[in-house]
Amino acid sequence: MSSQVTIKRSPFILIRTFIAIELAAFLCYFLVTGRGSYKSDIYNQIPLLSGLIPYDVAKLLFLAGVQLFITVYAFARWYSESYSVRPGSLSHRWGVFFRKERIVPLDKSMAVTVSSGPLGKRLHYGSIRIEGGPSRAFLTLAAISQPTAVMGILERCINPQSRGFTQPDVPKLLKADEHERLEFKSSLRFDHKSGNVNRELERAVMKTVAAFLNTKGGELVIGVSDKREPLGLLRDYQSLQHPSNDGFENHFTQVFNAMIGPEFRHLVKLWFHQLGPHDICIVQVMPSAWPVYLRIDNGEHFFVRTGNITTALKLSEVESYRRSHWPGRGAQNA
């Protein structure tokens, strides 16, 4: 499913709201017309109004005006609220005077529950609550029609990137040239030329990962030079507090969370493979369902893959790319 599906709240909720408005109006009318002449006395002290409109007519007009305003507002609020489902994400839009939007990723690890009251079961509407996942997000689709059918739509829109990773074909990768979905790095942080740890190498790795997230995904092979010479991860291991592939993955995750964000970590998996005496790491990256920004020196940068190159987009180019690559997405991360 590639198109966007819009879900509205059940019209029975609107009818229920109108009934509540009528009951509230009746109560207000009872309070206004209750015993005591002080209301009339206060009104008569306003000569501009009391001279034009009698008190009995004024109170009816006032109550009718308030009732009309609340009714129109309730309808506008119902009409403007919607849920939009696309593969990998669900957005909630609402607001009459000020439009708001919230986007929640749809991940297979999220818990989805449906609830309907006695009236909802008879009229076929209910609420769906989505919560959990790597980002610990939650969202309730309140009082929607045919919740069972909506559940089917949500299941088809679960982010396909989160449904599992496939073990990489290492020999095939090593025979391939770098392209839009493949790149090689000599190391994560150890500079083989200078013989020291170089944080710029970590940035270069995260730029590639962010670009894969923002494009079509890909595989980053670490521990192999551009000429396919196996260099291994030993020097990277020795630069870490825990010199092992577990320590390597923990450090990768720390850098990733700091520069990209933990909410995207579930879209990346590290595979370790022994190539002769050397360990190498294949970083598998799935495409993100929403824009990913890389944090560098207190600034945010946006990277994509163009051919076999990681490219930084200018601010003026990001919006155009976002609109074409993620139609309907907000500019900000979910």
How does pLDDT run across 61-78, given as a tens digit for each residue? 877 888 888 889 888 888
Q: Output the DSSP codes for 233-273.
A: SHHHHHTSSS-SHHHHHHHHHHHHHHHT-GGGGGGEEEEEE
At residue 211, the pLDDT reads 96
Token digits of residue 129: 């609550």
At residue 308, the pLDDT reads 92
Cα separation, 238 vs 222, in Å, equals: 15
pLDDT greater at residue 141 or residue 31? 141
Whether 131 shows a pLDDT value over 50: the answer reads yes
Residues of the chain with pLDDT > 90, as a percent, come to: 37
Cα separation, 48 vs 111, in Å, equals: 61
Whether 8 shows a pLDDT value over 50: the answer reads yes
pLDDT tier at 255, thresholds 50, 70, 90: very high
Whether 245 shows a pLDDT value over 50: the answer reads yes
- Nearest CA-CA partner of 251 in 260, 238, 241, 262: 241
At residue 333, the pLDDT reads 41
Q: Which of 84-88, 202-206, 220-224, 277-281 is the least confident region?
A: 84-88
At residue 119, the pLDDT reads 83
CA distances from 82 to 91, 92, 96, 161, 270 (A): 8, 6, 12, 25, 38
Judge contact between 290 and 334, C-beta under 8 A: yes
At residue 89, the pLDDT reads 77
CA distances from 314 to 149, 200, 292, 317 (A): 42, 21, 14, 5
Judge contact between 91 and 13, C-beta under 8 A: no
Phi-psi category of residue 147: left, alpha or beta, with phi > 0 → left and psi -120 to 50 → alpha: alpha
Q: Calculate the average pLDDT of the chain.
A: 83
**Cβ contacts of residue 263 below 8 Å, gap of 6+?**
105, 134, 135, 333, 334
Q: What is the DSSP letter of 162?
A: G
Gyration radius of the chain over CA positions = 29
Q: Kindly list the structural domains of the chain, giving each domain's residue range(s) and its CATH number in brackets, ordered by start.
A: 11-80 (no CATH), 87-92+101-161 (no CATH), 165-325 (3.30.950.30)
Q: What is the DSSP letter of 302?
A: -
pLDDT greater at residue 224 or residue 59? 224
pLDDT tier at 240, thresholds 50, 70, 90: very high
Whether 214 shows a pLDDT value over 60: the answer reads yes
